[in-house]
Amino acid sequence: MKFTKKILSIAITACLIVAAGCSAGTESVNNEQGSTNGANNGQSSKNTTEKVKLEFLSNKADVAETMDKIIKGFQEQNPNIVIEQNTPPNMLKVLTMRFSTNDAPPVFTVYPSAPSFAQLLKDDNVAELTGDPVLENVEPSFVEFSQNNGKNYAVPYALEGYGVVYNADLFKELNLGIPQTYNELIQVAEKIKAAGKTPFVFADKEHSDLRRISAALLGLDMTDAVPFFQDVINGKKHIADRETEIRRFAEKTLELRKYAQKDLLGMSGDNAVVEVANGKAAMYFMGMWKALAVKKANPSMNVAMFAFPAEKAEDTKVAMQVGTALAMPKDIKTPDEVKKFMAYFATTENAQLYSDETGQISVIKGVTHKVKENIGLAEMALAGKMYRAADATWTPAMQEDFGKATQELLGGASLEAYLKKLEEIFYNKAS
């Protein structure tokens, strides 16, 4: 008690000393601000005179360590350039925010197919890279794949996609083959169930995860899902126009859950990984990065992935998008330095490192996919057996609403209510 009183009296005395003089309150506030600001400004201006400092704004906190290695290599070659990686939560919002306040970072990660990127392009914020030498080492078909309106605004490095993560040890033990059709998948699930294991785990507590796989499933059965939804959004078509297919998708979604963990909406993405890693669940339909997460959680287990099978074996493809791509703002003071970094990251050696450590499917020339957990998916994607999930052109609001509506379907809402909800979410919502 005595001690604390002492601290308090010292603190109060200190305040009074600081606050001596009548208007001292304001003074001290201003001084604080002044000095903190001053220090910051001083620091940054000092640095810019010596070196070029580039902020690299990234949404990939999970691969930050690999990026740091690449950055380190780059800085050794270019001692005058300092790259600072920044991976804030909610990076997309941060990025748009920074653009709207004219404080864009010189280099940032993007999803070239996402509406958020289209928004940036609409306001003419991003530097065009069509025909630029930085794209030279990218496989030509993927240079085209990552175009927006026929032009390149981003350097694509790698693809990411969706598939079924499975416990290869268990499949071997139960003598199960990779299912080639949807019916075979259900049969495999039956067998796993009979063996006393949970066939599937679905991270349905996360509306964003649920949306991702649902959109992938929808796009698999409905090959023109992307243009169809675009028409609905533009008010040209209704959800009801393709009711049978959407119903079939919803029924599949529900059917798969019959083989899932009993507590559907209680399973988070983190817990789902652990369910697979500790051998309780056999299959997990989600992004490829989850295979590596399972591997990290249980290094002794053999984990692999297969593409989610379509109704017919020959229709099976993998849902893919460019997951790693870099872009830079249009009005940038240091375009050459940024391009240097983009090109460095696009060298075969670095792209190989990136692919090996993150398991992403590189689209850089000369890279071979070595990560065995998702090599099957990589081969399919690179052979062109890929498609875009239905949500490729949805706005973030639509994506969230769709995920939440699907949660409600799993929570017991009727199919009719679900279809009605989809109509509400999409019909004539182009702004």
Smallest gap from Cβ 26 to other proteins, in A, equals: 4
Among the listed residues 145, 395, 402, 419, the single contact to other proteins using CB under 8 A: 395
Residue 161 or 269 with smaller CB distance to other proteins = 269
Task: Give the length of the chain.
Answer: 431
Asked if residue 88 binds other proteins (CB under 8 A), the reply is yes
Q: Which amino acid is at 352?
A: Q
Smallest gap from Cβ 310 to other proteins, in A, equals: 28
Asked if residue 86 binds other proteins (CB under 8 A), the reply is yes
Smallest gap from Cβ 263 to other proteins, in A, equals: 4
Asked if residue 118 binds other proteins (CB under 8 A), the reply is no
Structure token digits, residue 51: 């070196």
Site residues (CB under 8 A) for other proteins, limited to 263-322: 263-271, 273-274, 277-278, 293-294, 296-298
Asked if residue 15 binds other proteins (CB under 8 A), the reply is yes
Among the listed residues 75, 78, 119, 223, the single contact to other proteins using CB under 8 A: 119
Asked if residue 181 binds other proteins (CB under 8 A), the reply is no
Asked if residue 27 binds other proteins (CB under 8 A), the reply is yes
Asked if residue 198 binds other proteins (CB under 8 A), the reply is no
Block residue for tokens 């380190």: 72
Q: Binding segment for other proteins among 60-68, 136-144, 348-356, 380-388 (CB under 8 A)?
A: 60-68
Asked if residue 97 binds other proteins (CB under 8 A), the reply is yes
Among the listed residues 45, 77, 90, 175, the single contact to other proteins using CB under 8 A: 90
Structure token digits, residue 430: 């182009």
Q: Cβ(287)–Cβ(321) under 8 Å?
A: no
Block residue for tokens 């600081």: 18
Smallest gap from Cβ 408 to other proteins, in A, equals: 4
Q: Binding segment for other proteins among 88-96, 194-202, 304-312, 322-330 (CB under 8 A)?
A: 88-96
Smallest gap from Cβ 47 to other proteins, in A, equals: 12
Residue 168, classed as helix, strand or coil, is helix
Cβ atoms < 10 Å from Cβ of 416:
9
Smallest gap from Cβ 431 to other proteins, in A, equals: 8
Q: Cβ(179)–Cβ(185) under 8 Å?
A: yes
For 121, residues 6+ apart whose C-beta sits below 8 A from its C-beta are 148, 149, 153
> What H or E segment, with its residue span, contains residue 201?
strand 198-201
Asked if residue 93 binds other proteins (CB under 8 A), the reply is yes
> What H or E segment, with its residue span, contains residue 200?
strand 198-201
Q: Cβ(389)–Cβ(216) under 8 Å?
A: yes
Smallest gap from Cβ 61 to other proteins, in A, equals: 5
Taking alpha carbons only, the member of 123, 114, 72, 28 closest to residue 325 is 114
Asked if residue 330 binds other proteins (CB under 8 A), the reply is no
Q: Binding segment for other proteins among 56-64, 132-140, 222-230, 347-355 (CB under 8 A)?
A: 56-64
Structure token digits, residue 62: 């999970």
d(CA 401, CA 225): 17
Cβ atoms < 10 Å from Cβ of 230:
17
Q: Cβ(108)–Cβ(338) under 8 Å?
A: no
Structure token digits, residue 217: 């499933």
Pairing mode of beta strands 198-201, 361-362: unpaired
Residue 38 or 133 with smaller CB distance to other proteins = 38
Residues in contact with other proteins, counted by CB under 8 A, come to a total of 84
Among the listed residues 54, 135, 167, 206, the single contact to other proteins using CB under 8 A: 206
Residue 158 or 294 with smaller CB distance to other proteins = 294
Site residues (CB under 8 A) for other proteins, limited to 238-257: none
Q: Cβ(320)–Cβ(387) under 8 Å?
A: yes
